[in-house]
Amino acid sequence: MKIPCSQLQALHRLLKQRQDLRNQLERGPRQLAAKAAMVASALAGLDAAKLKLRELKMACDRMQLQLRDRENKIAGLETKMNQAASNREYQTLKEQIAADKQANNVLSDEILETLEQIDAAVKGVAEAEAKHKVMQAEEATFKQQTTQRLEVVKSELQRVSEAYKAAELLLPEEFTPEYLRVVNARNDEALAGVENGTCGGCYHVLTPKVVDQLRMDNVMFCQSCGALLYLGGDD
């Protein structure tokens, strides 16, 4: 059976174009999902930053309340100390006041440290918000561009598919079932061009006899990978 190599080459070119367009359509939703995941990750980072800030503020409020309570306690102890009825009572109150003041000094340092952490957390929230907004804007732009691109791809896929079907109809009727079997199994790898005596699909070196048969437009399959062969270059 004879089929011009130029006809098989044209079929292969259309097959590859069709597959490439299909791949683009398949990648589109995955790319959109990846962008959405990045936005979700940025939002999760923002939520975490806000939670950290809230926890720091609550901790600072608790420490400041504790500091005020202890200061009030010290004031009460100082009043009692001034009214102490004995030296022993006076000394005990004095030691208690000193311990509470020392504890307050430590607590004040902790409050200052927490306030510094709050300042850093405020900046962290601002940065996370900015990142989230940027990611949202990028996603919106990407979604719009991708949607438009995929519409073009769909249109091009329809054109290429119709061209391929028309080219497929030109094959000899008796060869069509065998051709369809190979294409259904291997898609755009069903055909392979031959250059320098080598199969373009698996790089198997063909015998001179096979190449000669191809020069005469005889139908030949690669004995290694099973691809339908056609001369594609210098052979």
Are the CB atoms for 186 and 227 separated by under 8 Å? yes
Stretch 167-187: mean pLDDT: 94
| 3 state DSSP class of 175 | coil
Burial of 15 (0-12, 13-18, 19+ CB in 10 A): buried
In this prediction, residues 32-50 reach a mean pLDDT of 97
**Under 8 Å between Cβ of 93 and 4:** no
For the chain, what percent of residues have pLDDT higher than 90?
A: 96
pLDDT greater than 90 at residue 1 = no
Q: What is the mean pLDDT of residues 143-170?
A: 96
pLDDT single digits (tens) 93-106: 999 999 999 999 99
Q: Give the E-state strand segments of the chain in sequence order.
A: 191-195, 198-199, 228-231
Residue 84, pLDDT > 90, answer: no
pLDDT at 235 exceeding the cut of 50 = no
Q: How far apart are CA 213 and CA 51, in angstroms?
A: 75
Bridge-based pairing state of the strands 228-231 and 191-195: parallel
How far is the C-alpha of 214 from the C-alpha of 208, rounded, in Å? Answer: 10
pLDDT: which is higher, 90 or 235: 90
Q: Is the pLDDT of residue 234 over 90?
A: no
Residue with tokens 């959405």: 36
Q: Share the mean pLDDT of the chain.
A: 95
Q: And the tokens for 225?
A: 């990978």
Token pair recorded at residue 100: 């509470």
The model's pLDDT over 183-224, given as tens digits with 9 standing for 90+, comes to 999 999 999 999 999 999 999 999 999 999 999 999 999 999
Structural domains of the chain, ranges and CATH numbers in brackets:
19-170 (1.10.287.1490), 172-235 (no CATH)
Phi, psi of 50 (to 5 degrees): -65, -40
